[in-house]
Every structure is written in structure tokens, then in C-alpha cells.
């Protein structure tokens, strides 16, 4: 079987959600597609939009589920089954309100942390043992009710921070592909400080 990896960015489809904090995962894979100069196409059988590229010795599929966040697992399971993909070749990128804005955290598995997109994927795959990249979006004054926050938009200052974070998140995803999970965690987890490989504008 061809060596293939799947990178999934989570978000909600539709113009009204396009620039919201909850779509940070979408933004990450969109920036990778821009960096790699690959185009998105609708894949109705997966309920997703996908873009593909060849990186070194492997094919990489980028995915944006079009099922809405809470049903993300439907699209991910369909792709995993179609490609016969082992979960160690799956990376899921998501927003995280418990992580401060400007931070990245890649882990090999673990709790969903209440993120409904991750919960859906865990339910459909029957496992938590897949890599997840959390992109910090922070909270407002420590509030526990965050629906309005995650579905809101970044202000100008936050947008500048996110541009750097998304560049680093793309670098981390590429490192995961080329050097493995441990190297990607060690090199990129934590606060993103200063410029990364490229200055990406939102």
C-alpha cells in the first residue's frame, strides 16, 4: 500500500464561520495547501474538501470535514476506511480555548478536553490514540461559557499573533510528516515566539 498520511483541520463550513476562532484547524490546513500550492476539491463521498500532495516518499491528504464540527468523525472515519489508514498516520488540528493564544501543543493522544470535534472523531474511530495538534485561542477573563468566544472573531492584535502561530503550526505538521511525532513535539510545542519560516497573513 502507498505510504499515505492524513492531516485533518477541524472547523465549521460556511461563510458565517470562516473567520471564527473555532475554525483554527481549517486555517492550518488551508495555509499548508497554500504553502504546497495545491488546490482544494469537493469529495462528497467523504463529506469533506480535500487537497493532496506528494511530500518526499509519501502522499499527503489534507482534509476539511464539511459535516460541521460536532460530526467531524463521519468524514475522518470515511477517509481512514477508504485509504486503510493506520491511526499513527493521522494528525488532527483543532482550536483549544484552554490553551493560551499564541501556543501550540501536539500530543500523541489523550482526552478530547471537551472539544466536540475530537469527541466525534474518537467515537467514530473507537480510539483516542491519534495525534492532535491544539492551537491556543484562549478564553475571555477565565469564563467557562465559551460558545460566544469560540464562534467570535479575532481582533487585529490577535490576528497578528495567529498569523505567526499558523506558520509555526504548519512547520510542526511538516516536521511530524518528515521526522515524526516526538521531534515535532519537542521542537514546536509551547509559546510561539518571533518569526517562523514564513510570515503568513490571514
User: Does 22 qualify as catalytic in the annotation?
Assistant: yes
Contact 37, 93 (CB under 8 A): no
Q: Are the beta carbons of 78 and 47 closer than 8 angstroms?
A: yes
Phi, psi of 124 (to 5 degrees): -75, -30
The full 3-state SS of 83-145, as one line of letters, equals HCCCHHHEEEEEEECCCCCCEEEEECCCCCCCCHHHHHHHHHHCCCCCEEEEEECCCCCCCCC
Across 60-79, b (16+ Cβ under 10 Å) vs e yields: bbbbbbbbbbebbbbbbbbb
Q: Which helix (H) or strand (E) holds 163?
A: helix 156-179
H or E, element range at 157: helix 156-179
Residues with catalytic annotation?
A: 22
Amino acid at each position: 500500500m502507498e505510504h499515505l498520511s492524513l492531516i485533518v483541520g477541524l472547523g465549521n463550513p460556511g461563510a458565517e464561520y470562516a473567520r471564527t476562532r473555532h475554525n483554527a484547524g481549517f486555517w492550518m490546513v488551508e495555509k499548508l495547501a497554500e504553502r504546497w500550492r495545491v488546490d482544494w476539491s469537493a469529495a462528497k463521498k467523504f463529506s469533506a474538501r480535500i487537497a493532496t500532495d506528494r511530500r518526499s516518499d509519501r502522499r499527503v491528504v489534507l482534509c476539511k470535514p464539511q459535516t460541521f464540527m460536532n460530526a467531524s468523525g463521519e468524514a475522518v472515519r470515511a477517509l481512514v476506511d477508504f485509504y486503510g489508514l493506520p491511526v499513527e498516520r493521522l494528525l488532527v488540528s483543532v482550536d483549544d480555548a484552554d490553551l493560551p493564544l499564541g501556543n501550540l501543543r501536539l500530543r500523541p493522544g489523550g482526552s478530547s478536553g471537551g472539544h466536540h470535534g475530537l469527541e466525534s472523531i474518537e467515537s467514530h474511530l473507537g480510539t483516542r490514540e491519534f495525534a492532535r495538534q491544539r492551537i491556543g485561542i484562549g478564553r475571555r477573563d477565565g469564563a467557562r461559557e465559551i460558545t460566544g468566544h469560540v464562534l467570535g472573531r479575532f481582533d487585529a492584535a490577535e490576528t497578528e499573533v495567529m498569523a505567526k502561530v499558523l506558520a509555526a503550526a504548519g512547520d510542526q505538521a511538516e516536521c511530524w510528516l518528515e521526522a515524526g511525532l516526538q521531534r515535532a513535539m519537542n521542537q514546536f510545542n509551547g509559546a510561539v515566539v518571533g518569526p517562523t519560516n514564513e510570515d503568513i497573513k490571514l
